[in-house]
Amino acid sequence: MGEEFYCILKLVSGEEILSLICVDENDGDPIIILQNPIIIKFHSGPTESYIKVKPWIELANDDFFMIKLDKVITMTETNDERLIKVYTEYISDDSVEVYASSGEVKVSDKMGYISSVEEARKKLEELYKDIKES
């Protein structure tokens, strides 16, 4: 088995994949082993550009996938630290389920959620009383 490296692949399906890969020379029929592959798409807005990232296969439980070389149009090793950072942060993110089954976004500490409405109301009332008494 070959050495692992970060690679961008363009597949015959049109998908662009970023993944940590290695190539297995299987009796003259090379197989590419992808580890946590993600699809990357570049979008440009009126004021900024951004990258949209999602898993290559969204419902899979596996981290490793194999594809044959005939399914690849081109591939290139990347040493771009920004892309590698996007990749590593995306695959190491602990928030597995971002959306509830109804499609609503779940509130998390990262969004600034620190207390319930009742707790916040009590704290604000205490602050107001302290200011009024001073």
Would you list the domain boundaries of the chain? 5-106
pTM score, whole prediction: 0.62
Tokens of 80: 């771009």
- The phi, psi pair for 84, rounded to 5°, reads -65, -40
- As its CATH architecture, domain 5-106 has Roll (2.30)
Is residue 12 over pLDDT 70? yes
Strands 29-44 and 16-26, how do they pair?
antiparallel
Name the burial class of residue 32, with classes exposed (0-12), middle (13-18) and buried (19+) by CB atoms within 10 angstroms of its CB.
buried
Instruction: Please name the amino acid found at residue 100.
Output: A
CA–CA gap between residue 1 and residue 13 (Å, rounded):
26
More confident residue, 48 or 107: 48
Residue pLDDT, tens place only, 41-90: 888 878 877 778 889 998 888 889 999 999 999 999 999 888 888 888 88
